[in-house]
Structure 1
Amino acid sequence: MLSWFSALPSCSISGWARATPLALSFALATSMASAQSIDTVPDWDGIGFISSFGVPNTATYGQTITAPATPAMLRAFDVRINPQGAEIPFKFYVYEWDPTSDRATGGQLYASSVQTTEAVSQFQTYGVSGLSITLEPGKQYVLFASVSETSGSDSNARWASVGDGSYAGGRFVFTNNGTNVSAWTSGTWSNIARDLAFTADIQYVGQPAAPNLTAASVGDGQARFELSLSDSGSAPLQQYSISCESQGDAVGASASGASSPLVVTGLTNGTSYDCTATATNTDGLTGPESNVVTVTPKAAPVAPKPVPTLSQWGILLVSGVLAAMAMLGMARTGRRRG
């Protein structure tokens, strides 16, 4: 039976008793709004872990997830492992999950090639990319690692761990199935209240591409941008959104509109801003961020007063002399008449 080992030198270290087989979690802190750039690593303190992995003890560790309400695809995921100097062969897998019976179900959706940890004693990143695994809305899935098909011997490998709750749509699960791969779909899995430091890429199906963003001009407290889009996804473009974040203490600003160009106002002159853009289509799907464009707004310079040229000074002098002579002539005429 798994037990929490709390007698540790630092309260921030999440350890487990070595004598008991323990589990690995793929904690997906997925955002239902963006469904991309999933990352629990910022929650990791750099030292927290759970350990023990291999045959004959706990051969399979994983995390269940709930698919977004909009059709999406799993593109990549990874974890941080400290193999404690051991070379451990293992594979990554993806199955659909049955939350009623607490087990994997259906056919295998993905199995990676064999990966082997390096014989080092520090945390490294292991994962898979280039995936195209369809996630049906509302269904649950389990992402896991196992040595059941590689006969990786029991080791004290450490898996970077974060506190429970990093991902609210699923839970950490494991099974002491040894080399029996059929137990993944026939036996009940167990769970513990921990998640792993983990990143993943889940993208909506039909979302727009990232727009191309260029700065057209800058002015007094504002910047003007040109945007273009190669693919609006499953539906026509609805709007662009630009967000400018200050490199200093100034408040950021944003703007949105249905077409290019767009002007972002409310910027502080002399402050640099990093600006990015996204595109949203009429299906309500927002794509990834564009390239970053840095702008520094500034007030228009005050136009200097023109200085007369030498010829202009001459014209002014002659004009003044003629005006004076005319006035003098008028004065003399007035005296004769008197």
Structure 2
Amino acid sequence: MFAATSADAATVFDTTSSSTATWQPFGRPDTSTYGQTFTAPTDNVLNSFSLFLTPTGGVDFKAFLYQWDGTKATGTSLFSSDILNSNNGPEFSFNTGGISLLSGAQYVAFLTTAGVAGGGGTTTMPTDGYQDTLAGGSFVYYNAGDNFAALTSNNWDKSGGGDDVFFKASFASSVAAVPEPGTWAMMLVGFGFIGGAMRSAKRRQKVTVAFA
């Protein structure tokens, strides 16, 4: 699902559904990296994102955000989480603090056990029922084992397709707020009052200008 609200220029991605289908297995020593690619919208400040795991298996993992070049993660990490455990699922939400992305560029949010010291085991990741819910993105995975560096140096085993996993993302506009025309008019009137008070000693009117 794609939703946009004009009141605060927010854009929301949400591929969750009533589907009970899953991709599996995720974890050590099996497929160590599951993720979702997406295309950054016009509202390009990513405030938060969520990925989901079935709360079983005791899998220790971390979440990351990278740019996506069509076959693999690329560049440096834009976001990384602390170590989490799949038993605390199903939804794992991450507050990014507001990351400015490039509108129209592709990114990948993923969970991985690669490079994470912790318990083994496997679990599953809910999918939208193999529907192409999110335009400009898809479920991706890579059998990286414990080699985290391979995620940015090798092509992933699945780098596209017409299906998505459960994924949420919340975006905001990067355009700084500016006073509306009515606000400017009120400010000019206020300045006019100040000028008048300064020119006339007879009128001792106290004027306060407040900036919201």
Unaligned ranges ≥5, structure 2? 183-212
Once the two structures are TM-superposed, the CA of residue 124 in structure 1 deviates from its matched residue by 2.3
The 1:158–1:62 alpha-carbon spacing in structure 2 relative to 1, beyond 3 Å, is same
Once the two structures are TM-superposed, the CA of residue 168 in structure 1 deviates from its matched residue by 0.8
Using the alignment, how far apart are the partners of 2:46 and 2:113 within structure 1? Answer: 22
The 1:130–1:109 alpha-carbon spacing in structure 2 relative to 1, beyond 3 Å, is closer
Q: For residue 189 of structure 2, what is the aligned residue in structure 1?
A: none
Conserved? CA contact 2:138–2:165, under 8 Å? no
**What root-mean-square deviation, in Å, do the aligned CA atoms of Structure 1 and Structure 2 show?**
2.4
Using the alignment, how far apart are the partners of 2:51 and 2:72 within structure 1? Answer: 22
Work out whether 1:47 is the aligned partner of 2:20.
yes
Using the alignment, how far apart are the partners of 1:238 and 1:38 within structure 2? Answer: 32
Once the two structures are TM-superposed, the CA of residue 50 in structure 1 deviates from its matched residue by 1.8
Q: For residue 138 of structure 2, what is the aligned residue in structure 1?
A: 171
1:84-233 correspondence to structure 2 within 5 Å? 84=56, 86-99=57-70, 102-118=71-87, 124-151=90-117, 152-155=119-122, 157-162=123-128, 163-191=130-158, 192-206=161-175, 233=176
Q: Which protein has the larger Cα radius of gyration, Structure 1 or Structure 2?
A: 1
Match of 2:47 among 57, 64, 75: 75
The 1:145–1:52 alpha-carbon spacing in structure 2 relative to 1, beyond 3 Å, is same
The 1:77–1:238 alpha-carbon spacing in structure 2 relative to 1, beyond 3 Å, is farther
Partner amino acid, structure 2, of 1:37: V
Using the alignment, how far apart are the partners of 2:134 and 2:153 within structure 1? Answer: 26
Report which structure shows greater RCO (CA 8 Å, sep ≥6): 2
Using the alignment, how far apart are the partners of 2:72 and 2:96 within structure 1? Answer: 26
TM-score (norm: length of structure 2): 0.73
1:229-308 correspondence to structure 2 within 5 Å? 233-237=176-180
Q: Secondary structure of the residue that 1:131 maps to in structure 2?
A: strand
Once the two structures are TM-superposed, the CA of residue 97 in structure 1 deviates from its matched residue by 1.0
Number of equivalenced pairs: 175
Q: For residue 11 of structure 2, what is the aligned residue in structure 1?
A: 36
Q: Runs in 1 of length 4+ with deviation above 6 angstroms?
A: none
Using the alignment, how far apart are the partners of 2:96 and 2:80 within structure 1? Answer: 13
Using the alignment, how far apart are the partners of 2:149 and 2:96 within structure 1? Answer: 27
TM-score (norm: length of structure 1): 0.47
1:304-319 correspondence to structure 2 within 5 Å? none
Using the alignment, how far apart are the partners of 1:132 and 1:55 within structure 2? Answer: 31
